[in-house]
Structure 1
């Protein structure tokens, strides 16, 4: 029988504890709205006792997102009356509020952090739960550092707070110490005992990723009886982060026959949610991150591309459409094979008539791929045209100059200062050399304004990112632009040893991608 697993998202609390990832009230509400759209069951919106700003943000989430009964809003408290009151005052505006409190159970926490006896800590926890239940019908109790706790004391605590009125028991692997087999065994034992005391109390886990096992531990817990998982978008959180929502959810969906469990998550909203969180928090997603990384559905190996084009099941266990992407991406590099290049040409409406023609075009492709790492669609047009120009010159025939439609960067100069940032560029389009200058609010804004003045494509810059690759010797620029008239979005990237040149090339690649959409001829060569 398939069980329904509740998804408790703590992106706005544990995720926000990442240094530099502070969110304002507006951003918290926006992310919470998207989490609701994603279909999470519970949102932990913050830590109200920490500041007035966080209190206000939690209250705003409760009022604006928790205004329906299909989602629960909670926030974190220590097991003290002041914290519990602050949580209740903030979440009480939700239709379905909950108070979440945490208190350590390991010897390290009890003796070194609190300097109290185990009996004293146990009584503090029981009293806190009893008080919280006078305010709110839903109370979750977290046994902090459970993975390093003595089992007998851990169980004694859980049994006592259940009898005191806790409706959810959360068992955290606070420092990522657990190993899947032992963690699964611990959850099995606790689940068995809890169901005998009160089967209505929900058993939850909260796993950290210090040893890279957060997702594995969370799934082991589900397999051994956990009713609820605590996760974050993109796996963000303290230190090495938390179990990633997208990894846990897609593992349960993809290997349902193993876990016999499902969630209420609308998986097609995963990518949208990931990008919103990444943008607001200023935290890049690791490119090879499972499910939400840029390369999660990108394939550059010729062997893989050939297999995927024959049958997507060959190398694809999760369909990109299932998580909100349009399709897999076959990245054309020097490692790409003939099958991938021919497929890319066919998508552009370019159909070589003979094997010899294709082989000549493929050879030119490899030469360009060796020079610039990644080949884009507009590059393919230029490759085909250059081949034809050489071929047709012998017969005095002419071909349409598709490459004249694309822009290339010849040179740039950027002046950065606090009063008058400006940029001058020289673009080429076919035989034309087009200079332009512009000012902006900063050097990149000035640079992009100058490019836009040449291309005259009415597009809005939605995202911009520059990051270091090749041990800091090379910069990778990424942009996402949206056409104003139809809302179509285009993403592109480019690398260069100069960060401003990488930024410019990424923007120009995006512009050229738009131009490709307007061409789409059928070329028989």
Structure 2
């Protein structure tokens, strides 16, 4: 049994005046990528300079305008990388690099050395303020911890005044979620007072969920409390830096945005220490799914996945939101059926707004393809099989036929596992299109008798076919080619067939298009029934082929009367 008594609840602040539950996200925040710092430091094999530049180029392409490039005072590789960005003029005019440093004089000196020649930079300083780290790591009281933050701010301010470019200060009370909210406000206000920002030259106060310690609503309360109690609030950009220790990083981010956060630091696909940083793509795509412009160029998720997997040497989980290989896939039969019907409804209605069951967005909008949406296994149903036949191959199976063919595919999947689309089509050919034995239709001649006053029928057909390889022919009349065919079969062989239903459609547009015909046929003597399918550029030939397909499926061609007439 789990020894749950070793653990205790983390404190929850009492904050009944909260207002964030009544708000909605209406616009994208300022995004800051920390892939090159938080993300990189968490890799088993951190990126080398050339790989960092490739990641930088991807971030530029995606539209990030603030990027934390590293901790140049603590790593020579990160120092060299930043120098390459500056010396090679790789930083666009509208992009701001961010560099991290502890509140230590020698680190701040080295940081300013690293950013020489940079037009604009965010200098991000931090020190831990949590009750636990004050006790067991630093052995300092509140006044001493606050003094570290203030002194670090002074050192940055002194150097910023001499720096030829623009310096923006960012301060983080590390382990904010384990810090008393009123004390976090006290420390941050002291930093703001020391820096002296104004609305035109704001300071960034970053409140990190360095370690997730409670439910996302608690984080939102902490953010709103601080936002309300900060001095000079209009001169502060309130930033958040969520991690994912409890698996709630995305939810914590979204609630924090409701609570007043204006800026989000995170990584692509959630890379980062332990369980990772918040996945910026997940949050951005969530906004996109609600009709909000995420302000990032993320319409090609496959390129993002390929680059990140190669540079981080980490695979994206198949169930990862939006990016996983299986997230737009439905195996369940009822889900497949609903997706199929939703897509058909949108097409028939000419609907612009996306509304499809089980698919929050159109996968094509982010560069995913329709092929993986429905996959067939033993749990799949008629809707999934119908979707594959329509989407991949253009066959719109009649509703009653979907169950019949789905049973064929399900039997195969129970034997062999997942059935790929090409295997579904191969089964369709074997069961219907290529079902040409023992009766193989060859040709038909149709004569219009509508002006012939000597007969009650309007059509005459002459049908040529083979029966177990032997050429046969009959001529018959009826009201339409199918009725004449049915009568001819009965008169010639005694087979009493009845056409229960008939559907047809074009397989593709154009003058050379093929038509597909579906015949639901019953053997009136036994009551057995099945579907047959025929394809031809001529709809009459397609329907005749469908009749022969169904007769062969019913085994009518093997009857004695057929073999001896």
Give TM-score scaled by structure 1 length: 0.69
Distance in 2 separating the partners of 1:393 and 1:296: 43
State how 1:212-227 maps to structure 2 within 5 Å: 212-227=247-262
Question: Residue 193 of structure 2 aligns to a residue in which SS?
Answer: helix
Is structure 2 residue 356 aligned with structure 1 residue 326?
no
Name the counterpart of 1:317.
360
Unaligned runs of at least 5 residues, structure 1: 399-519
Question: Residue 12 of structure 1 aligns to a residue in which SS?
Answer: helix
Contact kept, 8 Å, 2:211 with 2:245, in 1: the verdict is: yes
Name the counterpart of 2:282.
247
Deviations 1:324-350 (A, max 9, x none): 323462112222222321232234446
Distance in 2 separating the partners of 1:119 and 1:226: 27
Relative to structure 1, the CA distance from residue 389 to residue 221 in structure 2 (aligned partners, 3 Å threshold; closer, same or farther) is closer
Contact kept, 8 Å, 2:227 with 2:233, in 1: the verdict is: no
Question: Residue 330 of structure 1 aligns to a residue in which SS?
Answer: coil
Contact kept, 8 Å, 2:334 with 2:383, in 1: the verdict is: no
Shift of 1:237: 0.9
Relative to structure 1, the CA distance from residue 335 to residue 113 in structure 2 (aligned partners, 3 Å threshold; closer, same or farther) is same
State how 1:26-425 maps to structure 2 within 5 Å: 26-62=50-86, 67-133=91-157, 134-135=159-160, 137-165=167-195, 167-194=203-230, 196-255=231-290, 263-312=294-343, 313-327=356-370, 329-349=373-393, 351=395, 361-387=405-431, 391-395=435-439
Shift of 1:367: 2.3
Shift of 1:174: 1.0
Question: Residue 35 of structure 2 aligns to a residue in which SS?
Answer: coil
Question: Residue 129 of structure 1 aligns to a residue in which SS?
Answer: helix
Shift of 1:250: 2.3
Distance in 1 separating the partners of 2:325 and 2:38: 24
Shift of 1:175: 1.1
Name the counterpart of 2:467.
none
Question: Residue 167 of structure 2 aligns to a residue in which SS?
Answer: coil
Distance in 1 separating the partners of 2:144 and 2:246: 32
Q: Which moved more, 1:17-26 or 1:288-297?
A: 17-26
Deviations 1:395-433 (A, max 9, x none): 2579xxxxxxxxxxxxxxxxxxxxxxxxxxxxxxxxxxx
Relative to structure 1, the CA distance from residue 66 to residue 353 in structure 2 (aligned partners, 3 Å threshold; closer, same or farther) is closer
Name the counterpart of 1:403.
none
Contact kept, 8 Å, 2:376 with 2:420, in 1: the verdict is: yes
Is structure 2 residue 32 aligned with structure 1 residue 8?
yes
Question: Residue 45 of structure 1 aligns to a residue in which SS?
Answer: strand
Question: Residue 380 of structure 2 aligns to a residue in which SS?
Answer: coil
Contact kept, 8 Å, 1:79 with 1:102, in 2: the verdict is: yes
Shift of 1:216: 1.2
Shift of 1:205: 0.9
Deviations 1:261-298 (A, max 9, x none): 86422231444223311221111112111121112211
Shift of 1:153: 2.1
Relative to structure 1, the CA distance from residue 241 to residue 358 in structure 2 (aligned partners, 3 Å threshold; closer, same or farther) is closer
Distance in 2 separating the partners of 1:321 and 1:354: 27
Relative to structure 1, the CA distance from residue 111 to residue 235 in structure 2 (aligned partners, 3 Å threshold; closer, same or farther) is same
Q: Which moved more, 1:165-174 or 1:218-227?
A: 165-174
Distance in 2 separating the partners of 1:349 and 1:263: 35
Contact kept, 8 Å, 2:267 with 2:277, in 1: the verdict is: yes
Larger Rg belongs to = 2
Question: Residue 50 of structure 2 aligns to a residue in which SS?
Answer: helix
Unaligned runs of at least 5 residues, structure 2: 1-24, 161-165, 198-202, 344-355, 443-534, 547-565
Distance in 1 separating the partners of 2:396 and 2:294: 48
Distance in 2 separating the partners of 1:198 and 1:360: 67
Distance in 2 separating the partners of 1:242 and 1:354: 49
Distance in 2 separating the partners of 1:49 and 1:107: 27
Question: How many residues matched?
Answer: 399
Question: Residue 54 of structure 1 aligns to a residue in which SS?
Answer: helix
RMSD over aligned Cα atoms: 2.9
Shift of 1:391: 2.7
Question: Residue 137 of structure 1 aligns to a residue in which SS?
Answer: strand
Give TM-score scaled by structure 2 length: 0.65
Relative to structure 1, the CA distance from residue 162 to residue 330 in structure 2 (aligned partners, 3 Å threshold; closer, same or farther) is same
